Structure 1
Amino acid sequence: MALPVDQLAAVPEAATRRDSLEIILEQDRTRLQELTPVRHQRMSATPFTFYRGAAAVMASDLAATPSTGIVTQLCGDAHLSNFGLFRSPERAMVFDLNDFDETHPGPFEWDVKRLAASMVIASQANGFDETTGRSMARLAAKAYRKTMIASEAKPALECWYARVDADEVVADLGDRFDTAASKRTQKALRKARHRDSAQALEKLCYVDLAGAHIKSDPPLLVPASEVAPSMSKVQLDDYFGEAFARYARTLPAHVAELFSQYSFIEAARKVVGVGSVGTRCWIALFGGARGTDPLFLQFKEASESVLAPFVPGCEYTNQGQRVVFGQQLLQASSDIFLGWVRAAGAEATVDTDFYVRQLRDGKGSVVVESLLPAGMEYYGALCGEVLAQAHARTASRHEIAAYLADAGKAFDAVIADFSVEYSRINIGDHGRLDAAVADGSVSSGALENPS
């Protein structure tokens, strides 16, 4: 028997839910210890930054609430800042989900709840009241529901190829800001078109007589020679060269042929995001036959999904392969250089799973903090539509659509109810971390290099 839709509004009981600070500190144990203070600083900044970094906390909470049992491939961390712009292989700008570190099978509504709750929390961060935030969450759920139901009548190939044109997004968003915010956001989205390896070379590197070198800006950007000072340049070149040779074997043959035209130059450890701080994340610079042909790849640690302890999933020999599978299944257009590798980090002897992608390929995102209510409503509905398109690419779309057709508008309302209640939980959890940082019981470090 299908779960009554009203039960989807339930949040975990305070007395039984696992302590959020305990979950965060447990994750710290497997991360680079010198970077965990940066993670704590970023998460403690606002309730929204806390939420962005607390996917594991919410996964634990969702697992303690009633579930539809309708399982599909999830993004796993579908908050509104994990949607954005990037270039398709055909060089068109598209708008889609863009973070799959936590992708894993799970009940479809977990992704919807993660998105809808982020709408309330981001609305509060922008100074909107709770009623407005609830409306934002309801509209996101409604867009998901309607798009998902509509997909049920479409051919599978039409669902597979459905995508959102970025030019339409940019144009529509421009009408939903005040003048100053509109200019800032339009500028940020236009800049995304020029974010590529050549732009990364200009920003992240300096050039001397020996060629291009990645800058040193610790702790956010640290060249491999500084991370592993005991290794010579020859040893580092051999280490990275061998790792990328194994990565190349995970690429389609025609892409591997393209990659073979590039030679490794240098690598550096880079701090990214909020939730990922402290995981092992590297960038690598490659050069083509001509000096004006750079390629930047990012290889990012892939650990077990935060959903894995709660939902049975496919077994992968490499967690990077899990991320690549989920991304290629859920995204309408994926980076051609997606692949995976296992390697001991240059700073450690422990083998680590990584997934690999281009560092910058037209990537950009909406400035959420600039959104006025009309802009937030539009953006939330757009993200709900895109999330539904992602789920509609899976074999579960008919079962999800049937459930939503039966639930009707009640689905939107209960997801909004859940989101408001969860935003209150999130505020309490953020307060606990903020207090722990303030009293020194949890370490905290500056976001930027003070120099």
Structure 2
Amino acid sequence: MFSSSEEIKNFNKNRLPWALQLKYEAMLENAFRFFRGTCHLFYQRLSKLKNMPKSPVGWICGDLHLENFGSYRGGNNLVYFDLNDFDEAIKAPVLWEVLRLVTSIFIAFQTLEIDADQSMNMALLFIKSYRNTLLSGKETNIDPRTAKGIVSSFLKSAEKSSSAQLLKKRAVKKGQSVQLNTKHERHFKLDKELKSQLSEHMQKWLGENSYSPYNYKVKDVVYRLAGTGSLGQKRYLFLLKITLKKEGYLLIDMKEAFPSALLPHIKTVQPKWKNEAERIITVQKHMQHVSSALLSYSIFNGASYVMQELQPVKDTIRFKLIREQYRDMYQVIDAMGMLTASSQLRSSGLNGAATKDELIKFAQNTDWQQEVIQLASQQAGLTCTDYANFEKDYREGFYGL
């Protein structure tokens, strides 16, 4: 018998216990936050469906939902709106990605108490935009010059964000030195030994890795909380200072890489990666138009970590702020459909993924569209049931409280 609470507890058993409790608390917020934190439950069910439409095998980010699109500054210093989370990235049927996103529309809109008809319209719009982009055979990207409506406003605002503003939020000045702010709600102190080991590791990475920034020295490091699904993984934030100038700081995020939650539920043969971090950054570079600055990986105490610059612009569009603005919502969902298909076209033919011709041929068929809508609606209902069970079991102490 399927027990979602048992599955959740088992899936998260290797995470830091104190941070895992924060994850469970975050998942209590609503059904959508729960959905974000239980990717493994979704694919466990999906892999057992007998009526899942067939689709070509390609690269997917694996955990696509409405808040895994956002702005970031690429390695070319330009701002983009794109898919931005690849922890679960894997080679799989491309419709798995579509079904998860459409399911997220139904759950998020219900959570926000948006009319069911509007939810259905947005789901149909996403599929239409996705299909039309595949049919074109040409991937596109969204930057401040090409964005429309609220996405354009979002990116133009993001362009104005600066590293100085980010540093002001994350760091404090103590005497003549600058340190990371341990009073920040997302920062936690490390014990002296681990802090020393991490500082030494980062300094070595700076000196040996071709992707690392030049002429910087480690000044401070803290444990960092971020996201929902990844809460409980080891994650650190480093403050670096440039050595050739009096002022000049850089923030580096170092995040432990776990195996994809989809892996136990998929039969598709995967490439032989050196480690999980290599998988994440390789697929990210395959799928994004331009990847974020300093994207690389390192090995610390036997585990692999994704390394990248913590940026002043990396945010998601908050749907609760545009719930009454139908035109804005339309433009965002339309962009998301286009970007999802573009990421699959961009990564087509790489490491055994379906070719563009195969993706175009698939898009010419329309039979799968209504089936995806029906399955997504069913999965949304099952997720809400899981959430209710999770909430009950959490209150009764099943999760260790």
Distance 2:85 2:379 in 1: 22
Question: Quick one: structure 1 residues 140 and 283, their matched pair in 2 at CA, closer, same or farther if it must change by over 3 Å?
Answer: same
Aligned to 1:182: none
Question: 2 CA distance for matches of 1:380 and 1:244?
Answer: 40
CA contact (8 A) 1:126 1:371 kept: no
Q: 1:22 to 1:99 in 2, by over 3 A?
A: same
Alignment of 1:187-266 (within 5 A): 191-217=157-183, 220-223=186-189, 227-230=190-193, 237-245=199-207, 248-249=209-210, 251=211, 256=212, 259-266=213-220
- The whole-number CA distance in structure 2 between the counterparts of 1:236 and 1:403 is 48
Is the 2:55–2:362 contact (alpha carbons within 8 Å) kept by the matching residues of 1? no
> Does the alignment pair 1:385 with 2:338?
yes
Give the one of 4, 24, 40 matched to 2:8.
24
Query: Does structure 1 residue 119 correspond to structure 2 residue 96?
Result: no
Q: Residues 232 and 125 (structure 1 numbering): CA distance in 2 closer, same or farther, change over 3 Å?
A: closer
Aligned to 1:306: 261
* One-letter amino acid matched to 2:132: K
SS of the residue 2:126 aligns to: helix
Match of 2:37 among 49, 53, 63: 53
The Cα of 1:236 is off from its aligned counterpart by: 5.2
| Percent of aligned positions that are identical | 22
TM-score normalised over the length of structure 2 = 0.90
**Secondary structure class of the residue paired with 2:67:** helix
| CA separation of 1:357 and 1:283: change in aligned 2, threshold 3 A | same
1:247-286 to 2 correspondence within 5 Å?
248-249=209-210, 251=211, 256=212, 259-286=213-240
Deviation for aligned residue 1:144: 0.5
TM-aligned CA deviation for residue 443 of structure 1: 4.4
Matched, 1:137 2:94: no
Give 1:367 deviation, angstroms.
1.1
Distance (whole Å) between structure 2 residues aligned to residue 402 and residue 232 of structure 1: 53
2:290 is the alignment partner of 1:290: no
Q: Please, what TM-score do these two structures have when normalized by structure 1?
A: 0.80
| 2:288 alignment counterpart | 331
Matched, 1:436 2:390: no
CA contact 1:59–1:307 (8 Å) conserved in 2: yes
Flag structure 1 segments of 5+ consecutive residues without an equivalent: 1-14, 176-185, 345-350, 445-451
The whole-number CA distance in structure 2 between the counterparts of 1:363 and 1:131 is: 31
For 1:415, the aligned partner's letter is: V
Q: CA deviation at 1:90?
A: 3.2
The 1-side partners of 2:130 and 2:84 are apart by: 17
**Alignment partner, residue 447 of structure 1:** none
Residues 196 and 144 (structure 1), Cα distance of their counterparts in 2 relative to 1, 3 Å cut: same
Residue 371 of structure 1 pairs with residue 355 of structure 2: no
**Residue 172 of structure 1 pairs with residue 145 of structure 2:** no
Name the stretch that deviates more: 420-429 or 235-244.
235-244
Q: Could you say if the C-alpha distance between residues 231 and 412 of structure 1 is closer, same or farther in structure 2, counting changes exceeding 3 Å?
A: closer
TM superposition shift of 1:20 = 2.4
Is 1:106 aligned with 2:106? Answer: no
Letter in 1 for 2:383: N
How many equivalent residue pairs? 388
- How far off its partner does 1:131 sit? 3.1
1:63: which partner in 2? 47
1:261 to 1:67, Cα distance in 2 relative to 1, 3 A? farther
**Superposed displacement of residue 27, structure 1:** 2.5
Separation in structure 1 between the aligned mates of residue 151 and residue 332 of structure 2, nearest angstrom: 11
Q: Does 1:404 align with 2:378?
A: no
Using the TM superposition, name which of 67-76 and 237-246 deviates more: 237-246
- Cα gap change, 1:333 to 1:278, in 2 (>3 Å): same
Whether the 8 Å contact between 2:73 and 2:293 is mirrored in structure 1 is no
Which secondary structure state, in structure 2, belongs to the residue aligned with residue 117 of structure 1?
helix
What secondary structure does 2:307 align onto?
strand
- In structure 2, the partner of 1:3 is none
Query: Does the CA contact (< 8 Å) of 1:119 and 1:136 recur in 2?
Result: yes
Distance 1:427 1:167, change over 3 A: farther
Higher relative contact order (CA 8 A, sep 6+): 1
Secondary structure of 2:265 counterpart: coil
Alignment RMSD (CA, Å): 2.3
Distance apart, 1:430 and its partner CA: 0.7
1: CA distance between counterparts of 2:11 and 2:389? 17
* Residue deviations 1:376-414 (CA, integer Å, cap 9, x gap): 3332221111000000011223212211202x2x43322
Contact 1:93 1:167 in 2 (8 A): no
SS in 2 for 1:216: coil
- Gaps of at least 5 residues in structure 2 are none
Distance 1:236 1:324, change over 3 A: closer
Task: Verify the 8 A CA contact 2:63 2:85 in the aligned structure 1.
Answer: yes
Q: 1:89 to 1:220 in 2, by over 3 A?
A: closer
2:135/2:363 contact within 8 Å kept: yes
